Amino acid sequence: MTDQYAVIGNPIGHTKSPLIHGLFAEATRQDMTYVAIEGPLDPEEGFARVVRAFSAEGGKGMNVTAPFKLKAYALADERSARAALAGAVNALKFEDGRILGENFDGIGLLRDIEVNLGVRLAGKRVLMLGAGGAARGALLPFLAARPAELVMANRDVSKAEALAAQTGAHGSALRACGYHDLAAQGRFDLVVNATSASLTGQLPPVPPSVFSPQGTAYELAYGKGLTPFLRLARNAGVHHIADGVGMLVEQAAEAFAWWRGVRPETRAAIDRLTVPLD
């Protein structure tokens, strides 16, 4: 019987996940289907009902996108350490009547940066803008890569400080600060915009002085061309800029491997989805 998988979100019409997983399944010769499901936005348990119904009908796993990552976290019977720190789940697996939750956003981001872009974090100064779910999901993978320093800047400094305290057992490289403190922080080898500002064409309050011309600027949003953040970095002399399309594909590959036991090559899917940054 063909195995069934899906992505759930709302809205969901823009999703690239069926295309990506279709390419993966074809390349690895997996007998599976993958569809998009628009989840209900009702304040009751509509999301949980849809997920449980998909599982009961033979579904093997689901990707979870906005706005359901927190609901997926609450629904899971078991969560990985990455998901626990992020407080969010972006992939579910149905196994022996249990719902397992994972968060591959951070490991997908790290793989895109280190493998696809060739930027190793070891010994580097890294700045993360934002302290939301995307940033939280990246903390453990980033700290495992052993940067010299990882600074998390956020409007609500206490939120970033709480995350720094939570990750203390995983290394002492994480430090929290406010945006108003960034002018005194010097240059970073890698600056990652993990805020939602670019989704609405806005710019996080970051000074150009944080960018190193020899460094990298990475935008988690994808398919939006030269966002205000990337334009700021380019105007500051940064030549190495990237958006989040590689992260999108790499986190999908991690979920695929978790479900199917085989990790697909990602280059073809990344090339298929890449939009020029101009």
Q: Which residues sit in the known binding site for NADP(+)?
A: 130-134, 220, 244
> How many C-beta neighbours within 10 Å does residue 199 have?
12
DSSP state of 215: E
Q: Report the chain's terminal Cα–Cα distance, integer Å.
A: 46
> How many C-beta neighbours within 10 Å does residue 76 have?
22
CA angle (253 as vertex; 248, 255 as ends), nearest 5: 100
Half-sphere exposure of 90 (CA within 13 A, CB side): 25
Distance CA 173, CA 137 (A): 16
Instruction: Report strand pairing: 240-242 vs 211-219.
Output: parallel
Catalytic residue among 60, 69, 124, 159: 69
Starting from the edge strand earliest in sequence, which strands make up the sheet with 149-153, in order?
174-177, 149-153, 125-129, 188-193, 211-219, 240-242
> How many C-beta neighbours within 10 Å does residue 184 have?
9
DSSP state of 265: P
Q: Is 69 a catalytic residue?
A: yes
Distance CA 117, CA 109 (A): 11
Q: What amino acid positions are annotated as catalytic residues? A: 69
